[in-house]
Amino acid sequence: MERDIEIFELLEVKEEHLHSIQQLLLQLSSRPHEFTLAHLCSLVNSENSHLFVATSNKKICGMLTLATYLAPTGRKWWVEDVVVDESMRGCSIGRRLLHFAVEFAGEIGGTVMLTSRPSRVAANALYRSSGFELKETNMYKMEL
């Protein structure tokens, strides 16, 4: 079944966006995340973060965040929080979101990076088939 999917950067916040994104966050992680209208506004208004969404029938059905910063070794881009609504998986929405983000970053240049748990088999397959190379490294995290 062909679906009319639109991918774009969310630049204007509406109340209905918040609910859709909260629902996607529930599907992304088993750990609840507080995400308020203030959080969404901060994200959308940030110079260093770009929230790309996929819509079907004008309803958000997927999202991806692209964050950036400058380092002595050049501009870095990080892909974060990629999630597609369960009811829309298998429609290449994740691939389209990722392609959109890479094209966006490519306009400026730099290195695009992301992490993914090994248990996310479909996501890892998507990243490899999209041209990302597995980098052997250790990832460390400190919650503040």
**What is the tens place of the pLDDT at every residue in 76-121?**
999 999 999 999 999 999 999 999 999 999 999 999 999 998 998 9
Domains delineated in the chain: 5-129 (3.40.630.30)
CA angle 76, 77, 78 (to 5 degrees): 120
- Count of residues in the chain: 144
Joined together, the tokens standing for residue 129 give 């088939």
Q: Is the pLDDT of residue 75 over 60?
A: yes
Q: Is the pLDDT of residue 1 over 50?
A: no
**Contact in structure between 65 and 50 (CB atoms under 8 Å):** yes
**Interior/surface letters 58-67, b for 16+ CB within 10 angstroms, e for the rest:** eebbbbbbbb
